[in-house]
A and B are shown apart, each in its own frame.
Chain A
Amino acid sequence: MIPQSLQDIHEIPVEFVDLVKESVINTFASIIGSEPSYIKPNGESKSLNGIIGNIAVFNQHHTLSLMIVIPKETALKLSEVFIGMEIPFESNDMGDLVGEISNILAGDVAANIETVGFRGQSSLPTATRGSDLTLFMPNKPPTEKMKFSGPTGDFWVNMALSESR
């Protein structure tokens, strides 16, 4: 259970992190047919040519923001697996696809974290695409960065826990 005020919380509770990790693995396994592996982050932070899916699971007290960071090569391979053909990276369909993957992940995360008392609903997803993207995580709320690698390539899931406004 998370305290209503996050003033003294500097890290996302480990049970949350584990449940989100489990959701990422399950969601991508159901999309790509095999489980991606979790790779312990080594603190590397380089700019990205790719697309980021943004979505949140929230209730009146807290918001868990999820950012699915997908390099261009991974996104192209994901599109091939998801819809049976590679879709152009610059197309609206690519944004649509990454938004839908974010939506599916958030649905699983919401169901999973409900088991530890966080009853929330998903926001609508958005997607941000570009080259030379650097993702700065906010300083104040507790955050967590996770890296995964699977048959369609590497990707990251970053999350931040904040008080709902």
Chain B
Amino acid sequence: MGKVKALVVDDSKIMRSAVKRALDQLMLAEFEYVEAMDGQDALDKFDDEIEIMFVDWNMPNMTGVEFSRAIRDKGDTEHIPIIMVTAEKSMGKVDKALNEGGANEYITKPFTADKMHQTISRYFDDDGNIIGEETEEEEEKSFFSSILKS
């Protein structure tokens, strides 16, 4: 099983533990965790080995949406799935996280391991490696190869 480096960002230690516990239960991969207590801390700890991120919204210093935007603005980070894990649940907030923040998925607290599985399993292959989002070029390639195969 592959080892995946995951960044878990939440100002609540209890919630960081809950996210890690849920991920460990899912057995999608073997995780190595980097924890951050707010967006700024996460930005400081972010490096090019991070493969997936679980980010709270409402945090001091820098919110999860600001952090996600900052990561996407770095460029060459579209392949890293950003999963917002937050108590904010109005449709406007979901829309803001996905569009303005560039997050890939949105999970509301409190969450279950099942909910986490439903949301993130598509980002992992059978060997426990991150699949990541396809770039436009890759999407085009896989589109043509599927046509050729059929």
Contact = CB atoms under 8 A, between A and B. Distances in A.
B86 A107 contact: yes
Contacts of B108: 107
B110 interface: yes
B87 A99 contact: no
B17 A104 contact: no
Find the residue from A92, A103, A124 having the highest chain B CB count within 10 A. Answer: A103
A104 B89 CA distance: 9
Given A110-B90, A124-B58, A83 B109 contact: no
Interface size class of A (residues with CB under 8 A): 20 to 34
What's the dominant secondary structure at chain A's contact region?
A: helix
A3 B87 CA distance: 28
A107 B12 contact: no
Nearest to B108: A107
A111 B110 contact: no
B2 interface: no
Given A31-B110, A114-B92, 18 more contacts: A82-B110, A83-B17, A84-B21, A93-B13, A100-B14, A103-B87, A103-B109, A104-B87, A107-B58, A107-B86, A108-B87, A108-B89, A110-B89, A111-B93, A122-B58, A124-B11, A124-B58, A124-B60
B131 to A, nearest CB: 30
Given A31-B110, A96-B13, A83 B88 contact: no
